[in-house]
Amino acid sequence: MTKKITRALISVFYKDNLEPIIHALAKNKVEFVSTGGTQEFIEKLGYPVTPVEQLTGYPSIFGGRVKTLHPAVFGGILFRREDVGDLKQAAEFKIGPLDLVIVDLYPFEETVAKGGSEEDIIEKIDIGGISLIRAAAKNFNDVVIVSSRNQYSELLQLLEAKNGGSDLSDRKRFAAKAFDVTSHYDSAIFQYFNQEQQLPSFKSSVQTGQVLRYGENPHQKGVYFGDMEALFEKLNGKELSYNNLVDVDAAVNLVQEFEGEKAFVIIKHTNACGVATGKSVKEAYLKAFEADTLSAFGGVLATNQPIDLQAAEEINKLFFEILIAPSFDANALELLRSKKNRILLKQKQPLKTAKQFKNLLNGVIEQDVDFKTDAREDLKTVTKIAPTEQEVAALLFASKVCKHTKSNTIILAVDGQMISSGVGQTSRVDALKQAIEKAGSFGLSLKGAVMASDAFFPFPDCVEIASQHGIRAVIQPGGSIKDQDSIDFCDRHGMAMVFTGFRHFKH
């Protein structure tokens, strides 16, 4: 049943694109009730407004903290239009109906993001607005609630299509959006307070989402919740899939490790099959590609430098799914766009996520993001021979890659180039054997290479095998009760080993 809007309460912080709605409501002879700046806005458009203070008999008090919290306002929203008792009470107390409520909330998240003072942040906790939204959404049988400026265009279309009226399905849809707004707002406030209080309660709210073609497999449904456009500008190609997004996340996180260097990474199923740095993007790409020319096919590529034509000409020879870069030279972009389904992403900003979580069993586990990057000052030489400067650079490079690779993992590298990797194995020995076999299959020598491990060696078997293939230096966290066995072997065979004290499991 279509219900006519007769009176509207409008009180908003943001007035962008509000004017067409005011004109549309006035055209349908809707009466306006408002406060403060919104009242002035409507009056400047030439329409009469009933001030909220006239309904309540109270001015705005306590610095604006109390304006609309009154039965004359909430009664007009909440009384049931078809309930005899409610109608009788509304008449008794002279409470007129409010059929449309347009209210937005104080910019709490924006104030926090801008580093506002605690006083400013607390004053941006909306009380009246969120109460009005909840009341109007609860009474969706009779009231239309517009709880965000993002809904203005939808409301305008509704007013034009139904001559200032609404159907139950319209009102229920706006109510659902309203509770989305209020629950997100409350979650943001809780997160702010919980930074200090650390209550054992999990809340996460994301208001934007994109339905994917499917999930990890075609028989699974998938949705991405987040604002991709804030992070990337898509310059070419089809829509990203679930698996694409997982690999993009892995690629961006890994390439971010190489700040101040020209780096290139190639990802396949979240693991690096090629990582390198170079004097140019072209050189870094060719070195990364050399490590595994087979797995790179259909991979996800990322660099932390602009893509120039020289790099693009080499990259264009490879079939790949996605290329991520901070920018693309015009002639490079023209060349890379030659394949219509090839996804090209311009990254606008670095990842800043501080927490990771996933569902597990009948709950959720959460942890801090592993922001620790092993640095020169973390290295403790535990062998008689210390690594050379070139070996130290190679060890730190390998450690960065190791941190972003599925456990158990071993990375074999030289300075600025991953030679091979062993990933996701149930034993560290198997991971090493996989890495050695892989290097051999691509004709890459391990003589003089270094080895990185994401966790300690429980036995000396890994350093024994590494020594047999020419590996001269090792980086690992240390911490095994049998560390000394590995140290002693390295000392007997002229190998250098450093401990970092930091484990980097990735499951």
Angle of CA points 478, 481, 483, to nearest 5°: 45
**What tokens appear for 200 in the block?**
């054992």
Give the HSE-up count for residue 64: Cα atoms under 13 Å, Cβ half-sphere. Answer: 11
User: Pairing between strand 31-34 and 49-51?
Assistant: parallel
DSSP string, 26-43: HHTT-EEEE-HHHHHHHH
**What tokens appear for 135 in the block?**
């009341």
Residues 128, 135: Cα–Cα separation, whole Å: 10
Residues 92, 75: Cα–Cα separation, whole Å: 12
Alpha helices in 316-388 (DSSP H): 330-336
DSSP, res 431: H
Is the distance from CB of 320 to CB of 298 less than 8 angstroms?
yes
Q: Report which of 312, 309, 336, 335 is spatially closest to residue 237, judged by C-alpha positions.
A: 336
Q: Which residues contact 380 (CB under 8 A, 6 or more apart)?
A: 478, 498, 499, 500, 501
DSSP, res 377: G
138 is catalytic: yes
Place of tokens 């311009």: 346
State the CB neighbour count (10 A cutoff) for residue 479: 14
Backbone angles phi, psi at 427, to 5 degrees: -135, 150
Place of tokens 């009154």: 70
Q: Exposure string (b/e) for 428-444, b if CB count within 10 Å is 16 or more?
A: bbebbbbbbebbeeeeb
Count, residues in the chain: 507
404 is catalytic: no
Is the distance from CB of 434 to CB of 454 less than 8 angstroms?
no
Write the CA distances from 76 to 34, 50, 53, 58, integer angstroms: 14, 14, 14, 16
| Stretch (H or E) spanning 311 | helix 309-315
SS3 73: helix
User: Pairing between strand 473-476 and 496-499?
Assistant: parallel
Residues 262, 303: Cα–Cα separation, whole Å: 8
Is the distance from CB of 234 to CB of 227 less than 8 angstroms?
no
Q: Which of 162, 269, 372, 493 is catalytic?
A: 269
Q: Which of 15, 23, 70, 138 is catalytic?
A: 138
Which residues participate in catalysis according to the annotation? 138, 269
